């Protein structure tokens, strides 16, 4: 079973993403900010990460940078799940190793399609 990390400071987004993942028979770990997300990656086997950008304590791009600094985690696909659509933010994300961008609000179908595409699986 694949494990998906969902990092967002909004409980409703965590709930919706968690439900979509569980409906697709995925295991989930939830985090409220980038620091919790980083700790989750360090303490669990994570197959895929969805992360918001704007969060307290550590934002999503800071978390991505710290994750990708470790060779062990280079191959974990990361999709930013955000309301931010600025080109400069997307470019910064790509530089750091972000694999995709999913704008809020999102549908369960688009959420699952992002996982299927980047993991090469059918859910």
Q: Which domains does the chain have, with CATH numbers?
A: 3-119 (3.40.50.2300)
Q: What is the pLDDT of residues 26-76, one digit of tens each?
A: 999 999 999 999 999 999 999 999 999 999 999 999 999 999 999 999 999
Determine the pLDDT at residue 123: 87
Give the predicted TM-score (pTM) of the model: 0.96
Give the Cα separation of 94 and 51 in Å (integer).
14
Q: Which residues contact 41 (CB under 8 A, 6 or more apart)?
A: 5, 49, 67, 73, 76
| Average per-residue pLDDT for the chain | 96
């Amino acid at each position: 079973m694949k494990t998906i990390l969902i990092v967002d400071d909004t409980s409703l987004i965590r709930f919706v993403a968690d439900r979509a993942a569980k409906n697709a028979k995925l295991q989930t770990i939830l985090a409220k900010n980038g620091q919790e997300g980083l700790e989750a990656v360090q303490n669990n086997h994570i197959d895929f990460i969805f992360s918001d950008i704007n969060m307290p304590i550590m934002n999503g791009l800071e978390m991505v940078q710290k994750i990708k600094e470790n060779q062990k985690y280079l191959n974990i696909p990361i999709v930013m799940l955000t309301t931010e659509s600025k080109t400069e933010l997307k470019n910064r994300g790509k530089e750091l190793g972000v694999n995709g961008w999913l704008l809020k609000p999102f549908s369960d179908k688009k959420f699952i399609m992002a996982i299927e595409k980047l993991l090469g699986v059918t859910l």
